[in-house]
Structure 1
Amino acid sequence: MKEEKEKYALVTGGSRGIGRAICVQLAKDLDYKILINYNSNSEAAEETLQLVEEAGGSGEVIQFNVTEANKVKSVLENWHDQHKNAVIEVLINNAGITKDGLFMWMPMEDWSKVIETSLNGFYNVTNALIQNLLVNKYGRIINMVSVSGQKGTPGQTNYSAAKGAVIGATKALAQEVAKRKVTVNAVAPGFIKTDMTEDLDERELKKMIPANRFGTAEEVAHVVSFLASQKSGYITGEVININGGIYS
């Protein structure tokens, strides 16, 4: 009899905010070990792992910066060498940064860093894993994008460009891999309460939101968990909005 493989879900930028909520929700809902990627904050990643375990799941932390293509590849190859009987079936491309400012005064570095993390990060991690998913003939790729990538947000030309590009990539890749039972979808949150949005004027901004509030990381995580499950097999190339009605 063939030995049953250990199945993993990898969440990039999984140590805090929406990434953390996704790790915990996947642990609650699905039968995956959670691979929590972090860049620099090992303490936060360990905290997430603890929350995953408290939710009844298990997992481990894995360190790499999604912008460093060679490092991503070598870390994941080493991981596979040490986990001969494991397969990463689910990939959540969640790592992202913002460097907001008016385009007119935007330094090249702020443009490049945001593009490198969201767009090149998507390429680096997905490209390192896609072959395994296709050989496995099953997989779920979920890209965390943003309402900024759909309608554009002033002061976020760089972030809007990066997320808009990932949306295009999502739609194209979905068509390439669908025959192998690999789905590729994007989730586009609006204003969500996390440490990334804590400096925003929530009282003022929620007037623009039909639901009259910011969303929670947990609400986003429920959507991601469904897309990561077997129930979502006929949904691919889609962008699922979760924004309280601010844009559709």
Structure 2
Amino acid sequence: MAAPTRKVALVTAGSAGLGAAIARVLALDLGMSVTINYNSNADRAEALVQELQDVWAARQAAGTKQVTSPVFHAIRADISKRSEIVRLVDETTAASGGFLDVVVSNVGWTRMREFSNLEDGVDEEDWDRCFGANVKAHLWIFHAAKKWLEESSARDEGSAVFHCWLQAERE
């Protein structure tokens, strides 16, 4: 399989805040194809995809023509579930022809509690979700992407990147 003409990136929790800012840099400043992961707000994720497409097209019209345009798309996946992470990586690599060069693991979750009320803070479901999103999800996504990142590094030594950035979504 021939190497892609541009790098492919996956940004988890990429539809808003820091994740969206990272997606913009990867797509518009570095010219990468970008998959934006989201959990619940499809409209926001699709709006970002449209923004990336519009800005890229405007730059092309302004005379910065590239041979191939990057591909931008959004995929819904609940990163607190390992099976969803595997599906997200599989769909990302399938859409890129079997390539993945950069993973930004930007997911996190917490529920704001009244810390002075011990009873309010002892919710096992919340603790399990917090641990799953803030700890295990980063391991699972790295594991799911490992094969693709190794292949990327074999094509272009040292080019594959996995970056874990914990940004807690608060409820």
With the length of structure 1 as denominator, give the TM-score of the two structures: 0.53
Q: Distance in 2 between matches of 1:88 and 1:33?
A: 10
Equivalent residue for 1:16?
16
Q: Percent identity?
A: 23
Q: Distance in 2 between matches of 1:51 and 1:38?
A: 16
Q: Distance in 2 between matches of 1:58 and 1:13?
A: 18
With the length of structure 2 as denominator, give the TM-score of the two structures: 0.74
Equivalent residue for 2:51?
51
What is the Cα deviation at residue 8 of structure 1?
1.0
Q: Distance in 2 between matches of 1:29 and 1:38?
A: 22
Unaligned 5+ residue runs, structure 2? 57-69, 154-158
Q: Distance in 2 between matches of 1:135 and 1:58?
A: 20
Q: Distance in 2 between matches of 1:82 and 1:55?
A: 21
Equivalent residue for 2:67?
none
What is the Cα deviation at residue 82 of structure 1?
4.8
The secondary structure found in structure 2 opposite 1:92 is: strand
Counterpart contact for 2:10–2:92, Cα < 8 Å: no
Bigger mean CA deviation after superposition, 46-55 or 102-111: 102-111
What is the Cα deviation at residue 93 of structure 1?
0.6
Classify 1:9/1:81 alpha carbon distance in 2 versus 1 (closer, same or farther; 3 Å).
Answer: closer
Counterpart contact for 1:26–1:32, Cα < 8 Å: yes
What is the Cα deviation at residue 69 of structure 1?
0.8
Specify which of 59, 70, 73 is matched with residue 86 of structure 2: 73
Is it true that 1:29 corresponds to 2:29 in the alignment? yes
* Root-mean-square deviation (Å): 2.5
Q: Which one-letter code corresponds to 1:142 in the other structure?
A: H
1:72-108 CA deviation, whole Å, 9 max, x = no partner? 2134324434543x41111111111221222833112
Equivalent residue for 1:111?
127
Q: Which one-letter code corresponds to 1:60 in the other structure?
A: H
Classify 1:127/1:98 alpha carbon distance in 2 versus 1 (closer, same or farther; 3 Å).
Answer: same
- How many positions carry a matched residue from both structures? 148
Equivalent residue for 2:64?
none
Equivalent residue for 1:98?
110
Q: Distance in 1 between matches of 2:9 and 2:95?
A: 16
Is it true that 1:129 corresponds to 2:145 in the alignment? yes
The secondary structure found in structure 2 opposite 1:67 is: coil
Q: Distance in 2 between matches of 1:61 and 1:88?
A: 15
Is it true that 1:3 corresponds to 2:15 in the alignment? no
Counterpart contact for 2:12–2:36, Cα < 8 Å: yes
Is it true that 1:63 corresponds to 2:79 in the alignment? no
The secondary structure found in structure 2 opposite 1:88 is: coil
4+ residue runs over 6 A deviation: none
1:146-173 CA deviation, whole Å, 9 max, x = no partner? 6xxxxxxxxxxxx7xxxxxxxxxxxxxx
1:152-204 CA deviation, whole Å, 9 max, x = no partner? xxxxxxx7xxxxxxxxxxxxxxxxxxxxxxxxxxxxxxxxxxxx68xxxxxxx
Q: Distance in 2 between matches of 1:79 and 1:24?
A: 17
Q: Which one-letter code corresponds to 2:3 in the other structure?
A: E
Q: Distance in 2 between matches of 1:133 and 1:16?
A: 25
